Amino acid sequence: MSEYDPFDELPEVDLLPAYLRASAASAGKTYGELSYNKRSRSWVIKGEPIVCQMAKRLFPGCDGKGRGVARFPANRRNAGDLHWLMLRYPLAVRPTDAARWEQALQDARDYAAARERARCAPQVLDPSPAFFRGQLMPFQREGAAYLVNTPRALLADEMGLGKTVQALAAVAELQAYPLLLVVPPHLVTNWQREIRSFLRNADGSEPTVHVLRGLKPYDLPCAQIYIVHYLLLRGWKQALPKLDFAAVIFDEIQELRHSGTEKYSAASLVAEKAPRVIGLSGTPIYNRGGEIWNVINILDFHALGDWESFTREWCYGYGNNIVAKPELLGETLREEGYMLRRTKDAVLDQLPPKRRLVQEIDADDAVYRELMIPAMEALRRLRDARTNFDRARIEDEICQRMRRATGMAKAPYVAAFVRALLEGGEKVLLFAHHHGVMDAYRTALAGAHPVFVTGRETAAQKDRAVDAFMSGKTDLCCISMRAAAGLNLQRATCVVFGELDWSPAVHTQAEDRAHRMGQKDSVLCYYLVSPRGSDAQMQEALGLKVSQFVQLMGDTVPSEGEALRLQQEAREHIRILAEQLAQRMEAEQAETRHKSRGETAK
């Protein structure tokens, strides 16, 4: 594990505020008793009116119900506040709770010292190349340092600024294994890919990864990284907290913005046990600012006080979750070290005009297999083909069926990805190739009121779709890649390719619908790919082989000779696709025959 603390030589006392250095012990008068309540996880003062009145007046996190009683949720900040109060009004700690109080006070001191170290520590991080592959942009180096310096942190950078890679850089630097990743279902595959792309062990091997399956807990194999999606958390509620994770990362932590669910309860339990907890979200707050209380509560229990005190002081009264001054709350979260957020505008000078990001998503295998049934018959015809012309024609047919099956199998996951972008305030151009895939988007994204330019519309319908997007009536325009020429849609902030084309020029032209001459923004272009189907060969043809920001495709119109070369390369990839499909079919038939012989022998 890498040590990231250049201030070990400083005396611990120098890192502490004065009120945590002094001792609250007193041989004189005491004003009451301090005890711990396990059920409410709180420290309880039972004492004279003067001390209870002072506690309730000074500390908004203090529960004010009951005369002569004051309750503080048990966390590191409140332990420090209690100690400060006891300097003025000494309390007798109940003997059975004395050891717990000493530990709570030590935790408060350790926390204060860690915050001071973080304030003084290096503000940029270059992760060790022994454990991390890749280069970080300057603002990403700052974000990675923040995560290393802050044991419980929310990285709330705007979407597209690389929160995943910053989190992985921090994991690499800290060697924070075993690590638990809690992610949305459609991002499980992408996290696996990102881990392979960026993390390494000292011996050059890849970290071992296990993806949890099903709601019923089982004995987990030994691994460095465990991945579970949010829908499975409730089933693992009792099992996960028993495991000694060095760190937990909640990706898209806004999934936990609503409390009172088994998912939230399970997340809270596993976070409480882990020494490091990282939340990632470009949109930690949705409609109501009070939802941030639930998010921060996962990272650090009652860091913003209990719900009643939070709503009383920050919102419009008890139980109301509309924050009165959201800007002030955001400023407080940043000052207290809980949140780091950078917008695209703030780091625009570090970004290229266009950023290409390859992101792997899941696909529905059942849909893919069903749509590939006709391709099996085409493969049989391919074996009997007599001429190169016939072979090329059948290979094209197989390729088209495979491309359509790939697009349809990905469609629900592409839609989920686009919904996340829209919820983050992005204006999205969604590109695809097949009409059937477009129709799937139309159904899955109906709530976003998308408009379509697919080549099936009249000129008037096309113009109305463009006007609706550019005027802000909708933030989603779905476009067929080969129908994109001539469109001017520079209002877009994100371009998403739900399907791929063989030609780099087609993609460049589609990207340029958003990235127009004179635009000062940095447009983010997502290439959503599936590990199964035609995407792998098409990625190879396009040069999109890495799951990080890429700038590989040419942005100029290819010459006639270059176009011919690209066409020949595409033809070779199509041949390989057909060949790979034939090999898989033969392997499946051989396995079926083997199983059949085994059954006959029985």
> Tokens 């300097």 correspond to what residue?
87
Handedness of CA 316, 322, 324, 329 (dihedral sign): positive
Measured distance CA(281)–CA(69) in Å, rounded: 39
Measured distance CA(378)–CA(405) in Å, rounded: 15
Between CA 546 and CA 557, with CA 552 as vertex, the angle to 5 degrees is 145
pTM comes to: 0.66
State the DSSP code for 223.
Answer: -
Cis, bond preceding 178 (omega within 30 deg of 0): yes
Q: Beta-carbon neighbour count of residue 553 at 10 Å?
A: 18
Reduced DSSP (H G I as helix, E B as strand, rest coil) percent helix, strand, coil of the chain, to 5: 50, 15, 35
Do residues 373 and 543 make contact, with C-beta atoms less than 8 angstroms apart? no
* H-helix or E-strand spanning residue 69: strand 69-73
Helix then strand count (H, E) for the chain reads: 19, 18
Which residues does residue 399 pair with via DSSP β-bridges, in sequence order? none
Q: If you count them, how many residues does the chain have?
A: 602
Between CA 193 and CA 201, with CA 187 as vertex, the angle to 5 degrees is 30
Give the CB-side neighbour count of residue 94, counting CA atoms within 13 A. 13
One DSSP character per residue, 517-544 reads: TT--S-EEEEEEE-SSSSHHHHHHHHT-
Q: Which residues contact 168 (CB under 8 A, 6 or more apart)?
A: 132, 194, 195, 198, 199
Measured distance CA(550)–CA(354) in Å, rounded: 10
Q: Which among 295, 288, 290 is positioned nearest to 271, based on CA atoms?
A: 295
Q: Which among 305, 258, 264, 298 is positioned nearest to 279, based on CA atoms?
A: 298
State the DSSP code for 18.
Answer: H
What are the pLDDT digits (tens) for 274-296? 999 999 998 776 557 778 899 99
Q: Which residues contact 161 (CB under 8 A, 6 or more apart)?
A: 139, 140, 282, 342, 344, 347
Q: Which among 478, 503, 500 is positioned nearest to 489, based on CA atoms?
A: 478
One DSSP character per residue, 164-211 reads: HHHHHHHHHHHT--SEEEEE-GGGHHHHHHHHHHHB--TTSPPPPEEE
Q: Which residues of the chain have pLDDT under 70?
A: 1-15, 24-27, 60-61, 63-64, 117-122, 285-287, 352, 484-486, 515-521, 541, 543-602
- Two structure tokens written together for 94: 């109940």
Q: Which among 106, 128, 211 is positioned nearest to 172, based on CA atoms?
A: 128
> Tokens 């001071």 correspond to what residue?
116
Between CA 136 and CA 139, with CA 137 as vertex, the angle to 5 degrees is 115
